[in-house]
Structures are given as C-alpha cells and as structure tokens.
C-alpha cells in the first residue's frame, strides 16, 4: 500500500502569492482536491495524507516532519508561482538521489503533455534548496503551476478545466512513479435491441370439435384478456388448433407458451405473426 503525502502550500495567515484577485493558498487546495478525486476514481493500492484541507497555517518544518513521521513514499508539494513570468516548472532538492530524479522526470513528462493545449510554457525541471524538499526523507517534488501575477497565467488559474487536467497529470506521474494499479473497469455490456416483432402461439391439433371446444372454453376462462381464433377446418377430416392473438417480442411469447405447456400439457408453437 503506497503512502502518498500531498502538501497544499501556504494557508491561514500566509496567503502565498497573490494577484489578479487570486490567492495561492486557495488555488492549491482546489488542485489538491482534484488530485484526490482522480486518485480515488482511477487507481487503487494507496492511502493519502495531507498537510491541510482547510485554511490553516503550518510551518515548512512541520509539513516535512508530518510526512516523515507518517513514513510517506512520496511527498508532493503544490504551489502557484509569482514574479511576472509565465508557464509551468517543478523542483526537486539540489542534491537529489536517483529515485527523486526519476520522480521529477515522470511527473514532468505527464505535465508537459497538457501544456500545449493551453499554450502554456514549459519552464523546465529545476532544483532548489527549498525546506520541504531538503527536510523530507522520501522522494519529494514541488510544482509551480503558473504565475498568479501574469494576466495570461491568471486566466488559466481561473479555468477549472485547466486546473483539473493539470491535477490529473500530476496524479498520473505519481501513479507511474509509485506503480499504482488502475482500477478494473467493468466491461461495457451491449445495449439489448428491443424486439418489437409480433408473435402468435399455435397449439398442437385437437382431433375433434368437442376436444377443441372444451380446450378453447377452458383457455378463455383462465385468460379472458386474450383473444383466440380457430384454424382452418375445411378438410375432409378436419383437425383443430387454437391460435392466440399477438404478443410483442419473442421472449414474451415464449414465456406464455411455456406457461400453457406446463398448465395444460399441450404442445404450443411460437410463430412470427
């Protein structure tokens, strides 16, 4: 069971970057929730822990310490950039191990497949001495989705589809890195085609008129809601059959035919009308 720790940056008295009527602390919570939703919908074999799910403040050391004490397999810190630039970038620690480098590679590769759709620049894979990257003991990455103080990027941060698709790219990277299995999807079942054809039931033969009349009377007494008719009896030695009115769909006709066979012991045929 993989242990995934999500760290929504800033919070409480620390609003993070601000601009264009947006605050980083609110956007990263939204991204985190999109990530959680997509993980739960698509993958299995993991548990999630988070720094925060509400507007509270925690120090950088406390964030790292919580992930460490929980024995997380991966630390994913979610941020929004500022400083007048444009585009996406992600960070790992300045002297990373090979597993952390691999984490950055797989997350970055998933993200850059989304960027062209929004003509959002790829600022590349970077390294920095950020506290949450330095103090965590597991592979850790910090993402900067866009610049809140650049109008073009800010408009993307107001675009829920962009936030969701970037969040899902983050998750695909996490899933690839940790080897999460996807949930088994049920095999789609073909929609049954409705049978609207009409069918009649025909009995086997009755050898004389008296047998036929008795059978017909019994049937009409038991099923007054069905109409009946008699087969042609113009032969020299006539035989008689009961032919019912029509049923819609062969399955319906077959069910009633089976009932007549069981109830009366008759031979009953199903024929398209």
Catalytic residue ranges:
144
Sheet with strand 2-8: strands edge to edge:
46-50, 2-8, 74-81, 140-147, 88-93, 122-128
CA triple 177-179-182, angle to 5 deg? 120
> How many whole angstroms separate alpha carbon 195 and alpha carbon 241?
26
246 within 8 A of 177, measured Cβ to Cβ: no
For the four alpha carbons of 42, 46, 47 and 53, in that order, the dihedral sign comes to negative
The span from the CA of 129 to the CA of 125, in Å, is 14
Residue 98 DSSP one-character state: H
Q: What is the rounded CA–CA span in Å between residue 265 and residue 270?
A: 16
């Amino acid at each position: 069971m993989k242990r995934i720790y999500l760290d929504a940056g800033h919070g409480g008295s620390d609003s993070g970057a601000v601009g264009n009527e947006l605050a980083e602390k609110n956007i990263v919570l939204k991204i985190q929730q999109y990530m959680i939703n997509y993980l739960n919908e698509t993958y299995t074999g993991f548990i999630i822990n988070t720094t925060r799910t509400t507007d509270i403040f925690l120090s950088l050391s406390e964030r790292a310490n919580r992930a460490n004490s929980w024995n997380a397999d991966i630390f994913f810190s979610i941020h929004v950039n500022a400083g007048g630039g444009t585009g996406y970038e992600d960070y790992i620690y300045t002297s990373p191990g090979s597993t952390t480098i691999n984490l950055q590679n797989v997350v970055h590769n998933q993200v850059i497949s989304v960027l062209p759709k929004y003509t959002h620049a790829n600022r590349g894979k970077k390294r920095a001495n950020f506290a949450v990257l330095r103090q965590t003991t597991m592979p850790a990455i910090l993402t900067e989705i866009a610049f809140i103080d650049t109008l073009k990027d800010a408009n993307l941060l107001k675009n829920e589809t962009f936030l969701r698709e970037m969040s899902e790219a983050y998750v695909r990277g996490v899933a690839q890195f940790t080897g999460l299995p996807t949930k088994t999807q049920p095999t789609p079942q073909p929609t049954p085609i409705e049978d609207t054809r009409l069918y009649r039931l025909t009995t086997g033969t009755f050898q004389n008129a008296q047998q036929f009349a008795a059978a017909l009377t019994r049937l009409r007494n038991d099923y007054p809601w069905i109409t009946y008719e008699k087969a042609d009896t113009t032969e020299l030695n006539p035989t008689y059959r009961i032919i019912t009115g029509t049923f819609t769909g062969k399955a319906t006709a077959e069910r009633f035919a089976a009932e007549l066979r069981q109830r009366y012991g008759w031979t009953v045929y199903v024929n398209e009308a």
